[in-house]
Amino acid sequence: EVPCLTGPDLAELVRAGQADCGIATRATARSAGLDFVPLVWENFDLAMRQRSYFRPAMQALLRFLDERRLRQRAEELTGYDPSSAGQIRFAA
């Protein structure tokens, strides 16, 4: 009756037979040895002031989004597509 607060909590209930299914990430299901059925694909955008884009911390993040190790980790977790990460979608 109490909702699971994290993906691993949900996975534990499914593995124990106390739940049939639930909403969690593919990585959570995979790490628990459970099957995964994707429901939707979601894109996440980061909104910021234009001046923030040029600050060192943001530039470091953008460089990281373009690194091979991020792509490799996304592949390991499965279900993530970082190919458009770091692209500017709208500038005013």
Question: Residues 2-37: pLDDT tens digits?
Answer: 788 999 999 999 999 999 999 998 889 999 999 999
61 plus 29 within the same structural domain: no
Position 92 in a domain: no
Question: Is residue 91 a part of any domain in this protein?
Answer: no
> pLDDT tens for residues 58-85?
999 999 999 999 999 998 888 889 999 8
- What pLDDT is stored for residue 2 in this prediction? 72
Residues 17 and 35 in one domain: yes
- Asked whether residue 34 is assigned to any structural domain, the reply reads yes
Write out the residue range of the structural domain in which residue 5 sits.
1-40
Burial state string for 39-74 with b = 16 or more CB within 10 A and e = fewer than 16: eeeeeeeeeeeeeeeeeeeeeeeeeeeeeeeebeeb
Question: What per-residue confidence (pLDDT) applies to 55?
Answer: 97
The answer to whether residues 32 and 56 belong to one domain is no
pLDDT at position 1: 66
Report how many domains make up the chain. 2
Please report the pLDDT score of residue 70 as a whole number: 93
Q: Are residues 59 and 36 in the same domain?
A: no
Task: Please list the alpha-helical segments (H only) found in 2-84.
Answer: 7-15, 26-31, 50-53, 56-65, 68-77
